[in-house]
Amino acid sequence: MKQFLSANDVHSIPGLIEMALEYKATPWKDEQLGKHKKIGCLFMNPSMRTRLSTQVAAQQLGMEAVVFNVGAEGWALEFEDGAIMNGTTVEHVKDAAPILGNYFDILAVRTFPGLKDRTADYSEHIIHQFIKYAGIPVISLESATLHPLQSFADLITIHETIKTISLNKKPRIVLSWAPHVKPLPQCVANSFAQWTNAWGEADFVITHPKGYELDEQFTKGATIVYDQDAALQDADFIYVKNWSAVQQYGTMPAYEGEWMLSNKKLEKTNRAKVMHCLPVRRNVELPDEILDGPNSIITQQASNRVWAAQAVIASMLKQHK
């Protein structure tokens, strides 16, 4: 694995899930693999789970993780070729990234979208600039359009939960839009759709109000249902997430109806397990009754971020020994 930006970088999703579950069973089995190696984790935006799970994963591979909150503490970076840097940016990525490439064996980067310019965000220019100039393997810790480590952990969670509930059919997985107080990126939803489609082991449904259609490059293969009640019928898993509009880019078009999930809405499901990537706005995106109730597998889902990160870092270390 030379880079990890999306499901397209994974040779076999079932194989990677098995690898992650082996690490979950035996966290330290490869503690020599990363000896004398370093991963640099650059955060241009806030994080709790991604930052800490990546550090724990690297440590369990015997690797040192160096975290730099470049967005809060570093020089303001410039990404445009030919920029006349007489404004707020101080250092060009083409000057900074080669240095990081010399300091580290793997570079991991979190960079959110601006949500102003759809073409710019969907070109993934920023993470590709790091790949171009760092010269070492790059892991996305969430980019402008995708969050691959999250989606990988999501599928690990679904895979292991299917075994515990003895489901003997393809799971019906529903990605359900939820309300929020401000416009959020589409990354988690895009990425979950891309990974679930690539995995190919689910009856996959996406439900959202009109105006919140995701980019078809990620959703193709899923069934889009605007009626949330119909979508939830017989669901085995419900992945709850807010995202802002793609067409009226970065806006929050008005919608009708109550889109926050409730125990009442769960009654029509197949005792569906409820997922969310976190952080979650309680009683806006999901109510207390679900977050604190027996259907939530959200803590398990967030805990699996460690094994997802460990499998990805190990895959890179094994290839670049």
Residues near ligand CP (CB under 6 A) are 47-50, 142, 150, 277-278
Smaller CB separation from ligand CP, 69 or 89: 69
Q: Could you tell me the sign of the dihedral formed by the alpha carbons of 293, 47, 8, 106, in that order?
A: negative
DSSP 3-state assignment of 111?
coil
Query: Minimum CB separation from ligand CP for residue 91, in Å?
Result: 25
**CA neighbours closer than 13 Å in the CB half-sphere of residue 12:** 7
Amino acid residing at 211 = G
- Quote the least distance from Cβ 150 to ligand CP, whole Å: 5
Alpha-carbon distance of 113 to 316, in angstroms, equals: 26
Which residues are CB-neighbours of 214 under 8 A, at least 6 positions away?
Answer: 186, 189, 190, 193, 206, 208, 243, 246
Identify which of 265, 263, 287 has the alpha carbon closest to the alpha carbon of residue 179.
287
* Phi, psi torsion values for 267, nearest 5 degrees: -60, -30
Give me the phi and psi of 155, to 5 degrees please: -70, -35
| Closest to 52 in 3D by CA, of 317, 307, 306 | 306
Dist CA 48 CA 300 (whole Å): 15
In the bound complex, which residue of the shown chain has the CB atom lying closest to ligand CP? Answer: 50
Determine the Cα–Cα distance for residues 59 and 55; give it in Å rounded to an integer: 6
Beta bridge partners of 106: 39
Q: Which of 47, 310 has the CB closer to ligand CP?
A: 47
Residue whose CB is less far from ligand CP, 66 or 225 = 66
Q: Least separation, in Å, of the C-beta of 170 and ligand CP? A: 26
Nearer to ligand CP, 92 or 110 (CB): 110
Q: Which of 231/291 has CB closer to ligand CP? A: 291
Shorter beta-carbon distance to ligand CP: residue 37 or 305: 305
**CA-derived radius of gyration, the chain:** 20
By beta-carbon proximity to ligand CP, the closer residue of 178 and 231 is: 178
- What is the smallest separation between the CB atom of 47 and ligand CP, expressed in angstroms? 3
CA nearest 259: which of 189, 294, 315, 207? Answer: 207
Least distance to ligand CP, CB of residue 100, Å: 20
Least distance between ligand CP and beta carbon 92 (Å): 27
